[in-house]
Structure formats: structure tokens, C-alpha cells
Amino acid sequence: MAHYLIIGQGIAGTVLAYTLLQRGHQVQIIDNDQPQTASKVAAGLFNPVTGYRMVKTWLADQLFPFLQAFYPALEAYLEAKFFYPLPMYRPFESVAQQNEVLAEISDEKFAAYVEKTFFPNEYGKKIKDPFGGVLLKKSGYVNLPVMLSAARKKWQADNILHNATFSEAQVELDKEKVHYQGMAVDYLVLCRGWQETQSSWFALPFRPVKGEILQVRFTDETYGHIINRSCWILPQPDQSYRIGATYYPQDVSLEPSLKGRQELTAKLHSLTGAKWEIMGHLAGVRPATFDRRPFIGLHPVYRRVCIFNGLGSKGVSLAPYFAAVLADFLEGKTQFLPKEVDIARCGRI
């Protein structure tokens, strides 16, 4: 049994804290409840088949079965509903894409992911699909604001989560313990998202990417699937929809921009002929990395300080599996972290 202090209660901190608590560890969390973090703004989509050619994402066969079990268990623990499996309709962009994808998905390895293919203009609901499309399964979304606030409420009541800003200057380290404001813990785990770039401990090659989404209401149509072609339409339980997302590298401003609004409305017009009104516009910064893989590991000098970060655009699908990977490592069940995620790949930090 070990004692952990986690900094940050976004997806990373929440999923890791739950994982460690389930294994019987003692956990404390410090989070300063910033209003516009990536986790609060994100649509929470998960989707194992992505890209122009609709290929399986990295580690799909490990990540997706894992998350399908993880989030329902977390829902039960938090007594809240936030996990929504939902098929995704992907209208094709062109005849070329139609041909390539139909050839690709005829392979048996895709059978588990494809619900149905559609002929040109068959889907209906004012969706512009002149080349047809494919309805994918095993996708869906996690309503992150609901998940995060349910965890926050429970852990504040249980005296696990403390609403405060963590300061590195107040940390004292010795070989066995990390001392912070009267606490003595075995490991300090930093889960501060893109703000880790301001850290004095981990100078890692982050590549933060700003993202914006719109919240809209359709006035003459409803959608029961996620629709995705250059932007996505994500149905919400309250009959509103999220539209996203932009991808602006090297921008860490948190203000929604006119450019973002114009880009998303233009993409939405090209996807549907339905009418809508904008109800909200949000921006956040993704903690992306130089090689699009997470940053996980122990500090090379301060061996009681650890990082769980770099979830990029895929926090929902990466966090559950890699929280378990990190927990196994810290518990000594595995000797090494997978090379692709271990911060040791970044050289000197």
C-alpha cells in the first residue's frame, strides 16, 4: 500500500486517482478548479477507427476493450451517468475515399467496427453524403464535465481532493518520501495537462494545441449518431449538440476566436443542410507531445516524482489503459514502462 499525491484533476488525474484507490492505495489530490481546462472543454469522443483511410488507431485492440469496462465501473463508483456508446456515421469526402475505405473495411479485421455502409445520399436527415458513407460502432463519448464534477464532489466529501494551487517551491524531497504542506507521501504524480510546460522539473517536448468547439441547437433536425467529416456533430443528452474541433498548434490562448467560429460554421454547413443556432463557444489547450504519444514516467533524478500527461487529443481512450500501466509500474509489478510512452525516450530533461 502506498500513499500518492496527485496534482490536477482533469481526465489524467481523475482516472489515475480512481485506478490507485481501487487498488487499495491512499490518494490525495490537489486541483485548482480552473474553468477552461482541456478536460472540461473536450467533447470526450472515443473512436477506434480514424483518419482519411479509417484505419485502427494506435493500440485500438488494447485501449478500447479496456475503456469499455473502465467507464461503466467508474460510473457505478461515482453514481453518475457519463458514458455514452454511440455509433458514428462517416460520410465519404470523395469517390477516391469511398473506394479506398470500402476496400479497406472489407478486410475481416474491421468486421467488429463496421455497422453498415450507406449508398450516396442514403443517410438522410439533411446530411450531405453524395459519396455515401460508413456507420462505425465501438465509438461514443464520455460526458467529461459530469464525470469530473461527480468525482470532485465525492472526493471533496471524502477529504481526498483539496481545492488549491500546488506550488513546486513548497515541495521537499528525500529518498523515501515527498513532503508537501504537512503531508508525507511515497509518490508525487503531476497531471497538470499542458500547464506542465511551466514546470521546473519536467522540461519535456510538449506541443500544446488549442482547440475550439461550438455548442449548437438544431431547429429542424435531430441526430441520434455522431456524424463526422472534417468536423463532428455530437448529440448531447439535453438535445443540444457539440461541434468540433479546431486544431491550432502553438496557441495556448484560452479565448474562443472568430477564426474558430468561422471555421466550424463553414465545416458544419458543408456537412448538413439543417438549420442551427449557436448557444456557446469554448476553447481549451490539448497537452500534445512531439511524437503524439503520452508522457509517463519517473523523474530521472527525483525518483519519487512522476508524470502522467501528454494525452493529446485522445485523453478519453488513453487514460484508463495507461493509468493501469503506470500503477503496475509503481507497484513494482512491471520493471519497465512501454518505451513508446516512457519519458526516457526524450533523453535529458
Ligand X SMILES: Cc1cc2nc3c(=O)[nH]c(=O)nc-3n(C[C@H](O)[C@H](O)[C@H](O)COP(=O)(O)OP(=O)(O)OC[C@H]3O[C@@H](n4cnc5c(N)ncnc54)[C@H](O)[C@@H]3O)c2cc1C
* Displacement of CA 229 from its chain's centroid (Å): 19
Under the binding rule (CB under 6 A), the answer on residue 256 touching ligand X is no
Under the binding rule (CB under 6 A), the answer on residue 244 touching ligand X is yes
User: CA separation (Å) from 312 to 11, 12, 206, 254?
Assistant: 11, 11, 9, 16
- Looking at the Cβ atoms of 131 and 319, the one nearer to ligand X is 319
**Of 5, 245, 324, 343, the one binding ligand X by CB under 6 A:** 245
Under the binding rule (CB under 6 A), the answer on residue 8 touching ligand X is yes
Number of residues that bind ligand X (CB under 6 A): 41
**Of 48, 91, 140, 287, the one binding ligand X by CB under 6 A:** 287
- Looking at the Cβ atoms of 118 and 161, the one nearer to ligand X is 161
Q: What contacts 261, CB < 8 A, 6 or more positions away?
A: 212, 214, 278, 281
Task: Give me 134's grid cell.
Answer: 460508413
> How many CB atoms lie under 10 A from the CB of residue 253?
10
**Of 311, 325, 327, 343, the one binding ligand X by CB under 6 A:** 311
Residue type, 329: F
Give the nearest distance from C-beta 119 to ligand X in angstroms: 29
Give the nearest distance from C-beta 74 to ligand X in angstroms: 15
- Looking at the Cβ atoms of 54 and 245, the one nearer to ligand X is 245
Between CA 112 and CA 100 the distance in angstroms is: 19
Instruction: For strands 88-91 and 226-229, give the pairing.
Output: parallel
| Residues from 162 through 181 that contact ligand X (CB under 6 A) | 165-166
Q: What is the DSSP string of 175-211?
A: SS-EEETTEEESEEEE--GGGGGG-SS----B--EEE
Between CA 1 and CA 174 the distance in angstroms is: 19
- Provide the mask over 10-39, with x wherever binding to ligand X is found by CB under 6 A and - wherever it is not: xxxx----------------xxx-x--xxx
Interface with ligand X (CB under 6 A) = 7-13, 30-32, 34, 37-39, 41-45, 165-166, 191-193, 195, 211-213, 244-245, 284, 286-287, 309, 311-317
